[in-house]
Amino acid sequence: MIDSDLPGSTQGPAATRGPVRVVGTGLLGASVGMGLRGLGVDVVLHDPSRTTVVLARDVGAGRFPAPDDEPVRLVVVAAPPDVTPDVVLAELAAHPHAVVTDVASVKSAVLEELRTRGADLTRYVGSHPMAGSERSGPTAARPDLFSGRPWVVVGSGESTPAAVLAVRSLATDLGAVPLVLGARAHDDAVALVSHVPQIAASLVAARLRDADPAALDLAGQGLRDVTRVAGSDPGLWTSILAANSAAVGPVLRALRDDLDAVIEALEHADAAGGAESVAAGALGTLASTIAAGNAGVSRIPGKHGGARKDYDVVTVLVPDAPGELARLLAEVGAAGINLEELQLEHAPRQAVGLAALSVLPGLRGRLEHELAERGWKIAG
C-alpha cells in the first residue's frame, strides 16, 4: 500500500494515504482527523454544522473549507447511526473512486439499508472503533483517542480486499487494534458487552431517583461501578439501541426471564410462607443466579487480552493531600513491584482515600511488608 510518491506518505509512518475526507467532525471524526494529521496525512473536513467543522479545524483535525468534490482516497463517515446510511450513500456517489467507511456503533442496520438502496458495496467497509469519552464534540477530540482500543472492521461481503485493507490500515495508523467481524457478529457482540450493560446500569440508576438521601449515604463502590455508565447521553443511546434492536432484544428477553425467576424466588424464599420444598427451590434459584454471574464475569478478558487473573489486592489508607498517592506509588515502584490494577476510593465524609493496589498473586506479602516499613496503613 505504501507508495512514497503520493501525498501524505512521505511525511510520516502512516499506511493511510490522503487526502482523507472526514464527514462529521464531532469527538470521533475530529479525533480521526487529528490522529491522521499527526502522521502527516492530508485531511479535509465536512460537517453539517459550520461551528462544529470550524472548531474541528481549529483544534488541528484537518483542512476547511474544501470543495465537496475534491478527489479523496478514503472517506470516514462519523455520524449518528440513524443518519449514517444517507451520508454513506451520498459520499459513495460523490467520490466514485474512494473507499468509504463509517464509525457507527451498529453495523447490520447500516449495511442492510445500503444494500437495499443499491450502494456500491465493493467500496464500502464498515467499522466501529471501541473508543469514546464522557465528553463530546471536536473540543474533546484527541489524536490518541483510539490508542490501544479494539477497532472492529466489518466488510460488506462485497468489499474488495484493497478496501478492507484501507480501513484496517486506518485503524492501525491511529494506534487501534483491528478485529475483523461480520456485521451480525459485531452487533450481537456489542449488544452483549455494551448495549445490554448500558440498559441494566440505567435501570438500576433510575431506581435511585426517589431514594431517601440516607439510603444514598450507604452507597459503596459496588453501586458506583454498576451505575457509572448510566451517565450516558440519552439522544445518542436512543439512536444506538433503536438501530441495534434486533440484537439487543433477544439478550434483554433472556435477561428478563432470569429476572422473573429471581422475583418469583424472592416471593417463596421465606419458608415461613410456604412449603419447605418450595423455599428450598427458591434458594436454589437465587444461588444459581449468582453462580451464573460468577461464570460469566470470569470470561471477561483482562490485562493484555489474557483471561482475567485473580490478583492479590492490598488496600492502603491515603491522606487526601496532593502528592500522597504519588508518594505511595513511588514507593511501590521503588520496591520493584508492578501494579496490575489500581482503584482509588474516597471514604464518605473522611479526608482520606483508600487505594486498592492489585498485584500478581504471590506479591501481596512483599508489598504489605514494603509499605508497612514505610509507615503506610494497610486497610485490607
Q: Contacts with a copy of itself in 350-379 (CB under 8 A)?
A: 350-352, 354, 377-379
For residues 378 and 372, the answer to whether their CB atoms sit within 8 Å is yes
Specify the stretch interacting with a copy of itself by CB under 8 A; choose among 84-92, 94-102, 159-167, 202-210.
202-210
Q: Which residue, 74 or 318, is less far from a copy of itself as judged by CB?
A: 318
Would you count residue 305 as binding a copy of itself (CB under 8 A)? yes
Compute how many other C-beta atoms are within 10 angstroms of the C-beta atom of residue 43. 31
The three three-digit cell numbers of residue 276, written as one number: 419447605
For residues 226 and 173, the answer to whether their CB atoms sit within 8 Å is no
Cα–Cα distances in angstroms (integers) from residue 299 to residues 12, 150, 290, in the given order: 39, 17, 15
* Nearest by Cα to 29 from 53, 8, 51, 58: 53
**Among residues 2, 93, 206, 275, the one that binds a copy of itself under rule CB under 8 A:** 206
Would you count residue 185 as binding a copy of itself (CB under 8 A)? yes
Would you count residue 154 as binding a copy of itself (CB under 8 A)? no
CB of 183 to a copy of itself, least distance (A): 13
Which of positions 208-227 make contact with a copy of itself (CB under 8 A)? 208-209, 211-212, 214-220, 222-227
Handedness of CA 165, 166, 167, 168 (dihedral sign): positive
The three three-digit cell numbers of residue 293, written as one number: 454471574
CB of 46 to a copy of itself, least distance (A): 24
Residues 215-245, buried b or exposed e (16+ Cβ, 10 A)? eeeeeeeeeeeebebbeeeeeebebbbebbb
For residues 31 and 59, the answer to whether their CB atoms sit within 8 Å is no
Would you count residue 63 as binding a copy of itself (CB under 8 A)? no
Q: Point out which residues pair with 126 in neighbouring strands.
A: 102, 154
Would you count residue 278 as binding a copy of itself (CB under 8 A)? no
Specify the stretch interacting with a copy of itself by CB under 8 A; choose among 56-64, 67-75, 160-168, 342-350.
342-350
In whole angstroms, what is the distance from residue 331 CA to residue 231 CA? 35
Q: Which residue, 96 or 307, is less far from a copy of itself as judged by CB?
A: 307
Which of positions 95-134 make contact with a copy of itself (CB under 8 A)? 130, 133-134
Would you count residue 321 as binding a copy of itself (CB under 8 A)? yes
Specify the stretch interacting with a copy of itself by CB under 8 A; choose among 57-65, 96-104, 118-126, 204-212.
204-212
Q: Which residue, 96 or 301, is less far from a copy of itself as judged by CB?
A: 301
**Among residues 207, 276, 277, 375, the one that binds a copy of itself under rule CB under 8 A:** 207
